[in-house]
Amino acid sequence: MVLTSALRKFLLTLHVLSSLGWAGAVAVFVVIDIAALTGSDPQLGRLLWLALQAAVWSLLVPLAFTSLLTGVMLALGTVWGLFRHYWVLFKLVLTLIATVVLVLYTQTISTVASMAVDPAMSGMDFPSALLHTGGGLVVLVLTTVLAIYKPRGMTRYGQRKRQEQGKQTVP
């Protein structure tokens, strides 16, 4: 499958918007979490979990799947391929891990958010989500760096494919 120029641009727009939108949204949660931990406002702990609950299925999970799906389509529909270049392969693995961890974490988010609606609980009683949000942000920054720098290394499969294609064009 080779993408037409118009379709590639459309998919790339969706890909960059969803991937960096996902990173930006996670960055907001990291900032709220740090503010809650430093104790600037006791209500921030509660706000963090209620906001996570509001955003997780309506924003974070859809962005993660859009990034993954458009990334795979771009890889398969261009010369990059899905398993030919290490930078694409690493992005695939990192994004898959981040998406699985996010989906698994939705359970914890609903449990803690259901406690956060209880006015008897103090904002200070809520746990931090920094391990997940901060870890997620690091992974998303890493995938962005890989996307921009596109380090050269090719997998053995990619090298073999390139040789085969080279042979086909030289009779």
| Interacting residue ranges for ligand HEM, rule: CB under 6 A | 8, 12, 15-16, 19, 22-23, 67-68, 71-72, 74-75, 78, 80, 82, 88, 91-92, 95, 140, 143-144, 147-148
Question: Is residue 85 classed as helix, strand or coil in its secondary structure?
Answer: strand
The C-alpha atoms of residue 96 and residue 156 are separated, in whole angstroms, by: 22
CB closer to ligand HEM, 26 vs 36: 26
Residue with tokens 């720098």: 149
Nearest to 60 by CA among 91, 97, 21: 21
CB of 161 to ligand HEM, least distance (A): 15
Q: What is the DSSP letter of 141?
A: H
Select the residue whose beta carbon is closest to ligand HEM and give its number.
71
CB closer to ligand HEM, 4 vs 40: 4
CB of 61 to ligand HEM, least distance (A): 13
Nearest to 109 by CA among 68, 52, 168: 52
